[in-house]
Amino acid sequence: MSTEQRILEAALKVFASEGYAGATTRRIAEEANVAEVTLFRKFQSKENLLKEVLLKNRAAFSSLDNLFQPEKDSDLETDLRILGKNFAKVMKDNKEDSKRRMLMFMLFEEGRRRPDVAEILSSVFQMNITRLREYFELQIKNGKMRNINSRSAAITFVSYFVYTSLVRGVFGDSFLGDSDEEIERFIDIFTNGIVKVEDTKTR
């Protein structure tokens, strides 16, 4: 592994655990086992280092294509159940992916202050939203979904898993209970709604 790669890996770890404000270039250099001057020679500033970490991990953040490959004849609920479980598994079980996602959660707040960070985060989410929106539009065209706003549906679906992953990271698994059961409940609500069928007929 090159010196630059070591620094980027160390920066990912330190940013994810300490937050942007708490992460110092000295701490990152120590984690990478390099002199702090070497870090500055390669990246000039902590801001540049953060941007490079985000750019390097953009593909890992935008992993929906790897998580979601529906079969041609599969039904909507099965597709979404598989996608939901894959989302939850990646965010919970894979330590490297978990670090990346914890970094992303930290950067939500940082993105409010720094337009360049917000732009990178936006591009990451847009890639996933677009992929899922296209899937929903196909399901609408095929008559498997009612004619709804596909983008809003995609945002709702992705947001649920991002939020529950954050909640589990802060409060632990006991707060939400069994992951598979929670996903089943969400898929039921997402696909069937909360209004009784007989109530919708009277409107």
pLDDT in tens, 116-125: 777 767 777 7
Q: Is the pLDDT of residue 157 over 60?
A: yes
Please enumerate, as own/partner, the contacts of 37-44 that have beta carbons within 8 Å and a separation of 24 or more. Answer: 38/3, 38/7, 39/7, 42/3, 42/4, 42/7, 43/7
The CATH 1.10.357.10 domain(s) of the chain lie at 58-201
CA distances in angstroms from 171 to 10, 76, 85, listed in the order given: 26, 31, 20
Quick one: average pLDDT of 52-80? 71
pLDDT at residue 101 in the model = 63
C-alpha span between 19 and 17 (Å, rounded) = 6
Among 18-27, 145-154, 189-198, the range of highest mean pLDDT: 145-154
Please enumerate, as own/partner, the contacts of 160-166 that have beta carbons within 8 Å and a separation of 24 or more. Answer: 160/186, 160/190, 161/84, 161/87, 161/88, 161/91, 164/88, 165/87, 165/88, 165/91, 165/92, 165/101, 166/105
pLDDT in tens, 80-102: 988 888 777 766 655 555 666 66
Please tell me the pTM assigned to this model. Answer: 0.69
Pick from 198, 191, 66, 76: nearest CA to 135: 76
> What is the amino acid identity at position 110?
E
Provide the CATH number for the domain formed by 58-201 in this structure. Answer: 1.10.357.10
- More confident: 115 or 46: 46
- More confident: 105 or 79: 79
Q: Is the pLDDT of residue 59 over 60?
A: no
Contact 43, 10 (CB under 8 A): no
- Return the CATH architecture of domain 3-55: Orthogonal Bundle (1.10)
